[in-house]
Structure 1
Amino acid sequence: MSLSDLTGRWKAFSYGFLDPSAKRELRRKMIKAVSVPGCQMPYASREVPIARGWGTGGLQVTLTLVKPSSTVKVIDQGADDSVNAASIRRFLSRVSGASETWDTLDATLIQSRHRIPEEKLSRDQILILQVPNPEPLRGVEPNMSTARQMHADADYGRMWLQLYEQMVRSGRVMLGASYPAMVNGRHVMTPSPIPRWDVKKLHMAEHLTILSAGREKRIFAVPPYTRVEPLVFDDVPYKVEDHAHLTCARSGVTGYFMNEIPQEDGSAGYEVSDSHFGIKAIDARDGGTPTVGQTWYRNGELA
């Protein structure tokens, strides 16, 4: 047997890589997810040319929604130029003919891992978040059948108990990323591994947010103008990361979510996590006239 015996003639694949049946199912599940905000919908996650755990869920949603007139932005922990983000963006462009961009304001589809851009999204944009673990109850109920029943009954007492125990033992809620939030007053969701800084950006936002977990085969959504309220006790306010006083060493912007960069002398430097927002700031500082959109935060406070 030779290699040629195992290969066939090249055949064109469906537009956007996924076959029509897969896209049809994903569209139906997205409609259901939008109709019941925050509720997880199962779907048959297909194979795509990246490994499970590297954004297959988000990629399948983007491939379903993309069209030749789309403009696609892909970010990985705020960066447009990371290997994962660049590879996914290039793949999307090649199989769909869509345009690529780094600018949040120009994009119609924004696929993201771990971050929501600092500039506000409009009603004409769709945010697609990659989710490694869509089940917020997994930490308190490992049996998924029981967890599904708890969601059906809106029984979130164990989750409240977990938050209370963390406060008693540590003096504060220890959850950083994936902070649980109540959507539309009914379903608790885990908003992907975005930091607490980004969770409030989903509350009454103009844009549609779709969250997809390819490995776990679950999809859920936050429609525009929907309440997204982090789980907090009445006498303990929700706190985001204390980055208001930090300044980006490259761009000079202050009051936005920063990445900590260890220095050779043991100290720490900081760099704004939204890389293209920092590029715009550098361009403006050097005399350019970039178009900068309205931001969710100003001086570390939600506007």
Structure 2
Amino acid sequence: MSLATLTRPWQAFSYGFLDASAKREMRRKMIKAVAVPGCQMPYASREVPIARGWGTGGLQATLTLVSPGAVVKVIDQGADDSVNAASNRRFLTRVSGARATLDTLEATLIQSRHRVPEERLRADQVLILQVPNPEPLRGVEPNMSRARQMHADADYGRLWLTLYEQIVRSGRVMQGASYPAMVNGRHVMTPSPIPRWDLPKLNMAEHLTILSAGREKRIFAVPPHTRVDPLVFDDVPYRVEDHAQLTCHRSGLTGFFMNEIPQDDGTARHEVSDSHLGVKAIDAAEIGETWYKGGEMQP
């Protein structure tokens, strides 16, 4: 046996970087995830040229769905210009030939870390959320075998107890990002570390949402027109972050989710988290229909 017999001649990468077998598996698991909304599907997470924990799951899902005619938008906590967003966007366009955009209305594939765009998504758009920890029961049941059995039995009593303890100790639910939600009345999911503000955007939405965790090798989905109900008690209503009265110091927008920017004098400025929405407002460009108006969720 020689080294030559153990190697293959150099070949170019498959279209979209991932090999055909990986894409077939991802597509099968996506179909299963759509068929059983909110239920986690395992998959063989492949190596991609970024470290695990930095969005490998979202990147694999996007590489599986991308095509030369796709228009790709990548955002990182609402920003299009972060290192993570710019690097992923550049990689996706190089390996697929797809066109990149910063405009939510133009995109057909939107890969996001920790935010849902403020402009409403259409039925012909797909939202792909990066998920670091897809298991909502991990905090109350570290044994994953038992957690799987709890999902099968729809046994979510410990999650309810956690929310109840927060109310007893603090007077309100303190869960911020990754707020647990019941999908289609059956499976509880953790919707990526998106803020509470974004969770109602997934409920009965027009678009398909794919949530993928590369490090944990799990994928799940929220199909269009599917109920996504945050876990709440009847006498304690669901509350989003209180940003309705905040104004973006750059764009003048009011009533959207804001980033707080501390100043040297101890005060703070606020800037709209959806960076390109702020750019549109500054440029007086057309802004599409938004989920929130004046801080109130629109039906």
- TM-score, normalised with respect to structure 1: 0.95
| Secondary structure of 2:271 counterpart | strand
Q: Give the Cα–Cα distance (whole angstroms) in 1 for the partners of residues 219 and 252 of structure 2.
A: 38
Q: Structure 2 matches for 1:45-60, cutoff 5 A? A: 45-60=45-60
Per-residue displacement from partner, 1:226-276 (whole Å, max 9, x unpaired)? 000000000000000000000000000000000000011110000000000
Which position in structure 2 is the counterpart of 1:99?
Answer: 99
* Number of equivalent positions: 292
Q: Identity over aligned residues, as a percent?
A: 83
Q: Give the Cα–Cα distance (whole angstroms) in 1 for the partners of residues 135 and 228 of structure 2.
A: 16
Q: Give the Cα–Cα distance (whole angstroms) in 1 for the partners of residues 26 and 179 of structure 2.
A: 26
Q: Structure 2 matches for 1:263-302, cutoff 5 A? A: 263-284=263-284, 290-302=285-297
Per-residue displacement from partner, 1:123-171 (whole Å, max 9, x unpaired)? 0000000000000000100000000000000000011011001100111
| Secondary structure of 1:46 counterpart | coil
| Secondary structure of 1:265 counterpart | coil
Look up the equivalent residue of 2:41 and give its one-letter code. M
TM-align CA RMSD: 1.0
Q: Give the Cα–Cα distance (whole angstroms) in 2 for the partners of residues 157 and 291 of structure 1.
A: 46
Q: Give the Cα–Cα distance (whole angstroms) in 1 for the partners of residues 202 and 272 of structure 2.
A: 20
Q: Give the Cα–Cα distance (whole angstroms) in 2 for the partners of residues 246 and 169 of structure 1.
A: 28
| Secondary structure of 1:174 counterpart | coil
Which position in structure 2 is the counterpart of 1:287?
Answer: none
Q: Structure 2 matches for 1:75-224, cutoff 5 A? A: 75-224=75-224
Q: Give the Cα–Cα distance (whole angstroms) in 1 for the partners of residues 63 and 206 of structure 2.
A: 22
Q: Give the Cα–Cα distance (whole angstroms) in 2 for the partners of residues 275 and 267 of structure 1.
A: 22
**Any runs of at least 4 consecutive aligned residues in structure 1 with deviations exceeding 2 A, and if so which?**
7-11
Q: Give the Cα–Cα distance (whole angstroms) in 1 for the partners of residues 265 and 254 of structure 2.
A: 23
Look up the equivalent residue of 2:248 and give its one-letter code. C
How far did 1:291 drift? Answer: 2.2
Per-residue displacement from partner, 1:99-144 (whole Å, max 9, x unpaired)? 0000000000000000000000000000000000000000100000
Look up the equivalent residue of 1:301 and give its one-letter code. E
Unaligned runs of 5+ in 1: 1-6, 285-289
Q: Give the Cα–Cα distance (whole angstroms) in 2 for the partners of residues 69 and 8 of structure 1.
A: 32
